[in-house]
Structure 1
Amino acid sequence: MGDLDSTGLRLMQELSQQVTAVRPELLNGEATVGELAWGWAKNYDALNRFWRHRFWFDGDRPIAWAWAYLPHRITRGDGRFREVKEANLIWQTHPDHPEPLTEILDWYDEVAGDVDRLLTVQSTDERAQAAVAAHGYAFDAETGSDDGAWIQFNMRELAEVPDPVLPEGFRFLTAEDVSVAEAVKAHRDAWHPSGFTEAALQRVQRTWPYRADLHVLVQAPDGTLAATAIIWLDEATRTAEFEPVGTHREFRRRGLGTALQLHGMHLARAAGADRMLVACLGAPARPAARNLYYGVGFREITRDLPQIKTAG
């Protein structure tokens, strides 16, 4: 299947909710409710033609899905091109139904064709590690190295959250207080260079479970939007997730990221969440994000083990 529409996305999120409820440490990279919403909505216009997907069901209940990104070339926000020559797979199975993983890997071979194939398994999922190894995958030592771009997954309970403290003159806002253009600029300033557009944000805002009152920002005394974060609340599992979190490059090291997260956690708890999730770079040589999240009480529950299967 090609076009991944909002109905397909909701099926993926439905399975994510099931896994979050029983074994959150088995959520695969980019397969949480919030990661799925963010990744699908912001990339839809640029990448949808390069996506392939498939579902597996038990009756009418999804028990597994696969979402492949085929090789592509797109224009970055700074006018340069970003070319991806490998295929990449995001996938999820229900903890009680791990069997479809073998079919997922066969399907991925078929749709990816004769290119290198990438995917991740979780450090907590020994069964999946064995399955991908039997299918010809090996640990990607470059991506998974101490300075690689691998991701760790973190969790924090929300029973006790310290009060946020902002520098004098700074204040908290939500997306209800700013225009689409201003919110996009806040993101682009935090993630330069970024191809994020107003059309992409508008699609994000139409994607469940986005809420404008949980899209939080920090405004500097001069009016600059100095930090931004989106909180994705899943009321069914009482779980909220930060994705993304970023600070304007000219306002870093002032405690804004810490204050924004604490403020966001208070809002999430008031909206009904019992726990908070966030993903970040986990490599020891890239400690900034991990230390930021550790500083507000997050702790790792699992990490990606990047895998590669070379063509030929």
Structure 2
Amino acid sequence: MVEGADAAAAEDLAGRLWSWSSRWHPGELAWLWRAAGPGVASWRTASWRAGGRTLAWARSTVPGRLDLQVDTAHDGLTPAVLDWFEDGAAGHDLAVTVLERESLLREVLLSRGYSPDVDAPSFLHLRRRLAAASPPAPLPPGYVLRSVVGAQDADARTGLHRAAFATPEPATATYRAVMAHPSYRPALDRFVVAPDGTPAAAALGWLDPRSGVLALEPVGTDPRFRRRGLARACVLAVLGAAVELGATHARVCARDGAADPAPRATYEAVGFRPYARNVRLVRPAR
């Protein structure tokens, strides 16, 4: 075990392991790891390696919360990963989020005293086949849909993300770092500009050439411009560009529930269908 996990190595492992039974898509990790910017320095991370390859990684963004991935050919490492996490979170309630299809990982967690958190927010994984480019969605008069041209658009994309998700992150410099990622493609970063010039909605896609699967992460709309079909237009534009780049399928993770039905409805309206769900397992502090 090595303290500290390399983002690129974690993405490589996610790409090697990708299947519809995997929680992590390499593009999703590319976004989540880099969009955190300087905040990554506060994470606890670790990796397990052999022969120059990463076999497992773990990250705890706040004490007592764990994300992880273990090579399915080396699942005997799972207890070691959990030992590392639990030792570093002594005195805290523990929570580990997994995909419901990760049955072996769930079994190990249950055997260690974790149980499903029935009150946790529900997140669905949805997918659709990309047989052909989707026709563009109509926009309200005066709204313009375009792809990111270059670093000069980092300010617009940063401000839109902050508005859509009510967060102070990322900083413009952080979004430029996202744009510098080897997997980032401007053609898969689309946004709508309102008539007054305000960036109103956006969708960013990450294409894994090994699997042909596109991950949408993130998709968002400034609250002032919701219910106008803007996110749908961005998503369809990204899917169309992805087909031209060789994508065969797309996936997205969305919050599900009566309190916030809009994301699921948006994706289902453009052909996505649920296929799995995240499950949070918890264990009280000991």
Q: TM-score, normalised by structure 2?
A: 0.91
> What residue is the counterpart of 1:265 in the other structure?
239
> What residue is the counterpart of 1:131 in the other structure?
108
> What residue is the counterpart of 1:146 in the other structure?
none
The correspondence for 1:216, drawn from 176, 180, 190, is 190
Q: Are 2:28 and 1:35 equivalent residues in the alignment?
A: yes
Query: Where in structure 1 do 4 or more consecutive aligned residues deviate above 4 Å?
Result: 1-4
Q: Are 2:37 and 1:44 equivalent residues in the alignment?
A: yes
Offset from partner CA, 1:218-247 (integer Å, 9 cap, x none): 112222211112111112221211100011
Aligned counterparts, 1:1-312, within 5 A: 1-4=2-5, 8-20=6-18, 23-25=19-21, 27-28=22-23, 31-57=24-50, 59-71=51-63, 87-143=64-120, 149-165=121-137, 166-176=139-149, 178-312=152-286
| Change over 3 Å in CA distance of 1:260–1:152 after alignment to 2 | same
Cα drift, residue 141 of structure 1: 2.1
| Change over 3 Å in CA distance of 1:287–1:62 after alignment to 2 | same
Aligned residues: 283
- One-letter identity of the residue aligned with 2:141: E
- One-letter identity of the residue aligned with 1:270: E
- One-letter identity of the residue aligned with 2:52: D
Classify the secondary structure of the residue corresponding to 1:99.
Answer: helix
- One-letter identity of the residue aligned with 1:277: R
> What residue is the counterpart of 1:77 in the other structure?
none
Q: TM-score, normalised by structure 1?
A: 0.84
CA distance in structure 2 between the partners assigned to 1:56 and 1:89 by the alignment: 19
CA distance in structure 1 between the partners assigned to 2:25 and 2:59 by the alignment: 13
CA distance in structure 1 between the partners assigned to 2:75 and 2:256 by the alignment: 26
CA distance in structure 1 between the partners assigned to 2:42 and 2:67 by the alignment: 16
Among the aligned pairs, what percent are the same residue?
29
Cα drift, residue 67 of structure 1: 1.8
CA distance in structure 1 between the partners assigned to 2:100 and 2:153 by the alignment: 41
Q: Is the 8 A contact 1:258 1:296 kept in 2?
A: yes
Classify the secondary structure of the residue corresponding to 1:24.
Answer: coil
- One-letter identity of the residue aligned with 2:62: L
Q: Is the 8 A contact 2:203 2:231 kept in 1?
A: no
Q: Is the 8 A contact 1:246 1:257 kept in 2?
A: yes
Gaps of 5+ in 1: 72-86, 144-148
